[in-house]
């Protein structure tokens, strides 16, 4: 089954973080976070599509927004509901997995997503997919 995800217009990463409910004046060092109401926000690179509507997410190295703590205490596990910000790389995607990447722009994806698989840190730290109620935003072809 092939999936098509409707992506809203891309804009500034900081604007998308704020629209998701994260309180920050800068996007520097942020890869998501935990909102004041406890909602977990994650980011995924547009080129980290794992197929079948799934995307890879990674544990951040810093704790901007509290996302690293959410990983450390086990709040991110199979079944966890998250909101997702899709980010695009500035310039070509580096071939080296350890290369430093820079965000060009971002889009807050509609609806809720869920963690469906925990990774080993090679392909990803976890895989996410849209929740079934996102059926208006996820078109099966």
Domain boundaries, the chain: 3-140
The confidence band for 138, taking pLDDT boundaries of 50, 70 and 90, is very low
Angle at CA of residue 105, ends 104 and 109, nearest 5°: 145
The confidence band for 92, taking pLDDT boundaries of 50, 70 and 90, is confident
pLDDT of residue 133: 62
Q: What tens digit of pLDDT does each residue of 99-137 get? A: 677 889 999 999 999 999 998 877 789 999 999 864 444
Determine contact, residues 4/141, Cβ cutoff 8 Å. yes
Determine how β-strand 40-45 pairs with β-strand 81-89.
parallel
pLDDT of residue 93: 76
């Amino acid at each position: 089954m092939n999936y098509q995800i409707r992506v809203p217009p891309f804009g500034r990463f900081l604007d998308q973080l704020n629209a998701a409910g994260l309180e920050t004046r800068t996007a520097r060092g942020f890869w998501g976070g935990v909102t004041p109401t406890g909602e977990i926000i994650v980011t995924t690179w547009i080129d980290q599509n794992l197929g079948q509507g799934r995307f890879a997410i990674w544990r951040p190295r810093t704790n901007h927004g509290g996302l690293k703590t959410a990983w450390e205490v086990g709040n991110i596990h199979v079944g966890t509901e998250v909101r997702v910000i899709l980010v695009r790389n500035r310039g070509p995607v580096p071939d080296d997995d350890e290369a430093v990447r820079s965000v060009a722009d971002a889009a807050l994806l509609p609806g809720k997503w869920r963690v469906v698989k925990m990774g080993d840190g090679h392909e990803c730290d976890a895989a996410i997919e849209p929740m079934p109620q996102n059926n208006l935003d996820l078109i099966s072809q």
